[in-house]
Amino acid sequence: MHAEPLSLIFLNAAIVNNFVLALFLGICPFLGVSGKKETAWNMGLATMFVMLVSSAAAYGINELLTELDLLFLRLICYIAVIASAVQLVEMFVKRFSPALFRSLGIFLPLITTNCAILGLALFQTAKEYDFLQSLVYALGAGAGFTLALMLMAGLREKLALAKVPDVSQGAAMSLMLAGLLSLAFMGFAGLGGSHG
């Protein structure tokens, strides 16, 4: 696992084991912010940035805690780092793009409870990636998340104009769509190597 090439790590995180459609991480923003393509794109970028920061920080923390033999504090430290990273992004976005800040609304602080980010930190620890591998993994996961969000937003923008039965409106329809997307992504299984 250690010698895993960077290109495969990226491919694996972004497409084969897509965080949203294959691993079920980050479903809440996936269903919540996928109404419009533009918001979806910005949300994807913000999430990718938080992923990169927290992935780098999580790597350092894990080394430190292993050194000190305090591994039971890992979870608490990770979530604290993620919360700080989200705070950072929030301040950054508010300063440089107030319009974007308003359009993301409540979902910006909610990145903290996006399990894709915590999941990323936990997975990279479990897979024992080194620093560079972790960063590439984070980049891939972020790209995959953005891809899933954009696909969903595109579908839902089209669907908003279509006439669907009353009974299937709202979340039920979104979930069925997500199921179809997930089914399509299963076609990538086996691409780029046999490791999970």
Partner 1 sequence: MAELPDTREKLTPDTFLRGLWEENPVFVMLLGMCPVLAVTSTTMNALAMGLATTFVLVCSSMLVSLLRNWIPKQVRIASYIVIIATFVTIVDYGIQAISLELYAALGAFIQLIVANCVILGRAEAYASKQRLTTTFVNSLGMGAGFTLALLALGTVREILGNGTILGISLFPADFQPWIVMILPPGGFFVLGAWLLLFNWLRLRKERKQTEQIGVTAHAR
Measured from the CB atom, the residue of 80 and 160 that comes closer to partner 1 is 80
Q: Please list, in sequence order, all residues whose beta carbon lies within 8 angstroms of the beta carbon of residue 146, skipping any fewer than 6 positions away.
A: 40, 41, 44, 45, 47, 48
Which residues bind to partner 1, rule: CB under 8 A? 21-28, 31, 72, 75-76, 79-80, 83, 109-110, 112-115, 117-119, 122-123, 126, 166-173, 175-176, 178-180, 182-183, 186
CA separation for the pair 82, 53 (Å, rounded): 8
Nearest distance from C-beta of residue 22 to partner 1, angstroms: 5
What are the φ/ψ torsions at residue 128 (nearest 5 degrees)? 55, 45
**What is the closest distance, in whole angstroms, from the C-beta atom of residue 2 to partner 1 in the complex?**
20
CB nearer to partner 1: give 1 or 167.
167
Is residue 134 within 8 A of residue 56, CB to CB? The reply is: yes
Select 3 or 156, whichever has its Cβ closest to partner 1. 156
Instruction: Give the containing element (helix H, strand E) for 123.
Output: helix 115-126
Cβ 160 to partner 1, closest distance in Å? 18
Q: Which is nearer to partner 1, 9 or 121 (CB)?
A: 121
CB of 99 to partner 1, least distance (A): 25
Closest contact distance (angstroms) between CB of 136 and partner 1 is 19
Contacts of 171 (CB under 8 A, 6+ apart): 31
- The answer to whether 9 and 133 are in contact (CB under 8 A) is yes
Which CB, 6 or 173, lies closer to partner 1? 173
